[in-house]
Amino acid sequence: MKVSRNIIISGKILLAHKMRTVLSLSGIVVGICAVITMVAIGRGTERQVISQLTSMG
One digit per residue, the tens of pLDDT, for the chain of length 57 reads: 799 999 999 999 999 999 999 999 999 999 999 999 999 999 999 999 999 999 997
pLDDT of residue 57: 75
The CA distance from 52 to 41, in Å, is 16
Domain ranges of the chain: 3-56
The CA distance from 31 to 27, in Å, is 6
pLDDT of residue 1: 74
CA nearest neighbour of 24 among 40, 8, 13, 35:
13
pLDDT of residue 9: 96
14's CB contacts (< 8 A; 6+ apart) are: 21
